[in-house]
Amino acid sequence: MKTTAEIRKSFLDFFHSKGHQIVESSSLVPHNDPTLLFTNAGMNQFKDVFLGMDKRPYSRATTAQRCVRAGGKHNDLENVGYTARHHTFFEMLGNFSFGDYFKQDAIKFGWEFLTSPQWLGLPKEKLWVTVYQSDDEAYDIWHKEVGIPAERIIRIGDNKGAAYASDNFWQMGDTGPCGPCTEIFYDHGDHIWGGPPGSPEEDGDRYIEIWNIVFMQFNRQADGSMEKLPKPSVDTGMGLERISAVLQHVNSNYDIDIFQTLIAKVAALTGEKDLTNKSLRVIADHIRSCAYLIADGVIPSNEGRGYVLRRIIRRAVRHGHLLGAKGSFFYKLVPTLIDVMAEAGKQVKENQVTVERLLKLEEEQFARTLERGLTLLDEALMQVKGNVLSGEVAFKLYDTYGFPLDLTADVCRERNIGVDETGFEREMEAQRQRAQSASQFGADYSNVIRVDGSTEFEGYTESESLAKVTALFHD
């Protein structure tokens, strides 16, 4: 059985053998792209190449790109713990053609890698594909050249209501390169609930999307119109953890080698005996995004990227509390994380001291108010009317106890209760009107450094900031 590290390597080797340059993963902090919160796909670092504004010495590339989808256009934070296939942090395996090959080779390379006995050797009959509604060319390649029977090729349009990516027109965000796509799904078997893509049961865990191949043809403008790209190109993305689940014969990403090791460590640290406890999965997921975000220079703060990071850390700490963790535990996962990530753990390993210390500081700080906040929330939940927690309570938790709104919502959701977000915003606005600062809660490292994604501050870059924080710890 292949380990996740071996699958990562196989992918890069395969595309290297097809003339692709192996390119390093870029940072999770997309430099020079104000439209993007975090790197959310392998194509991000090549955006300008697709647009014809940047040139590379190669026209084919392959990467294993670290991605975070928590906030921004592709946000999977709320899926973690609820689906078998979503993480906040994951690695996207990709192959790219910059005006070189197009639909035919893109499809054939993908198929060869997945099904050839020399490579992954997956059973062909378990693979399903979708194509963009009107894309007869892609349909014919799958049907006539690859030989997939019509029953397993599904046409999907962009009119399903969901704004992004659950249709067959991929886009990075509101603007930027985009185009029709074809997606490859794996059928995990009829013992699992779910239906093929496009069916009413598609949200089940039986048919899981493993690979998305995008035919990059347009550049979406701010007014929504689409301009043709200089050269038709290809961008693909396959979730490493999802293909690993397939090859390791498990249905859930959380049952692959990387996650099993992390989950066992969380269980050992918290004393949890039931290894299927959802909180274990959430924490194992969150340590990856938090450690990598810090390693890539994001510092917990009260705004922008730093606040997204702080929110994820606090969610993890709350789940640790739920498991009965005594004292700080979250940062203790870092060495295990570095181990399981193999080659891809380099970034965290190089910044291990800073990552661990920042996580520990954040955890200690939140621990001071977590318990009291949870008591208040518990009491409020017992008196809730109509299954919605009031905006006033959510705001008090935010303002006095440092509970980000999504953390409160996460607790409420476990009891099928919603949060009055409009009411929360109203309280927030009222406080702004009173001309007080947003929230004084939490260490703000901003007197030392400033990093965030939302202000005009033109100060230190993330790596300069990281260097400064690291220097503080070493003094």
Question: Which residues between 210 and 229 bind Mg ion (CB under 5 A)?
Answer: 212
Q: For 384, how many CA atoms within 13 A lie in the half-sphere containing its CB?
A: 23
Contact between 92 and ligand ATP by CB under 6 A: the answer reads: yes
Nearer to Mg ion, 182 or 351 (CB): 182
String marking each residue 177-216 x if it binds Mg ion according to CB under 5 A: --------------------------------x--x----
Residue nearest to ligand ATP (CB): 239
Residue 76 interacts with ligand ATP (CB under 6 A): yes or no? yes
Contact flag: residue 369 with ligand ATP (CB under 6 A): no
Q: How far is the CB of 328 from ligand ATP (least distance, A)?
A: 27
Q: How far is CA 152 from CA 148, 175, 183, in A?
A: 7, 32, 12
Size of the site for ligand ATP (CB under 6 A): 19
Q: Which of 135, 209, 272, 356 binds ligand ATP (CB under 6 A)?
A: 209
Size of site (CB under 5 A) for Mg ion: 3
Q: What is the 3-state secondary structure (H, E, C) of the chain?
A: CCCHHHHHHHHHHHHHHCCCEECCCCCCCCCCCCCCCCCCCHHHHHHHHHCCCCCCCCCEEEEEEEEECCCCCCCCHHHCCCCCCCCCEEEEEEEEECCCCCHHHHHHHHHHHHHCCCCCCCCHHHEEEEEECCCHHHHHHHHHHHCCCHHHEEEECCCCCCCCCCCCEEECCCCEEEEEEEEEEEECCCCCCCCCCCCCCCCCCCEEEEEEEEEEEEEECCCCCEEEEEEEEEEEEEEHHHHHHHHCCCCCHHHCHHHHHHHHHHHHHHCCCCCCCHHHHHHHHHHHHHHHHHHCCCCCCCCHHHHHHHHHHHHHHHHHHHCCCCCCCHHHHHHHHHHHCHHHHHHHHHCHHHHHHHHHHHHHHHHHHHHHHHHHHHHHHHCCCCCEECHHHHHHHHHHHCCCHHHHHHHHHCCCCEECHHHHHHHHHHHHHCCCCCCCCCCCHHHCCCCCCCCCCCCCCHHHHHHHHHHHHHC
Nearer to Mg ion, 165 or 267 (CB): 165
Distance, in Å, from the CA atom of 242 to the CA atom of 91, rounded to the nearest integer, reads: 10
**Rounded least distance, CB 92 to ligand ATP, Å:** 5
Task: Choose the stretch contacting ligand ATP; rule: CB under 6 A; options: 87-95, 342-350, 351-359, 396-404.
Answer: 87-95
Is 168 an interacting residue with respect to ligand ATP (CB under 6 A)? Answer: no
Structure tokens at 101: 């090959």
> In this complex, which beta carbon is closest to Mg ion, that of residue 239 or of residue 453?
239
Q: Identify what 167 binds: ligand ATP, Mg ion, none; CB under 5 to 8 Å per kind.
A: none
Q: Is 87 in the site for ligand ATP (CB under 6 A)?
A: yes
Minimum separation from the CB atom of position 393 to ligand ATP (A): 30
CB of 102 to ligand ATP, least distance (A): 19
Is there binding between residue 165 and ligand ATP (CB under 6 A)? yes
Of Mg ion, ligand ATP, none, which one sits near residue 315, judging by CB under 5 to 8 A according to partner kind?
A: none
Site residues (CB under 6 A) for ligand ATP, limited to 232-261: 237-239, 241-242
Provide, rounded to whole angstroms, the least separation between the CB of residue 391 and ligand ATP. 29
Does 135 engage in binding with ligand ATP (CB under 6 A)? no
Smallest distance, ligand ATP to C-beta of residue 339, A: 21
Give the nearer residue to ligand ATP in terms of CB position, either 252 or 270. 252
Q: How far is the CB of 360 from ligand ATP (least distance, A)?
A: 27
Out of 27, 63, 65, 212, the only residue in the binding site for ligand ATP (CB under 6 A) is 212
Q: Given the rule CB under 6 A, which residues bind ligand ATP?
A: 69, 74, 76, 85-87, 90, 92, 165-166, 209-212, 237-239, 241-242
Task: Give the interface with Mg ion as residue ranges (CB under 5 A).
Answer: 165, 209, 212
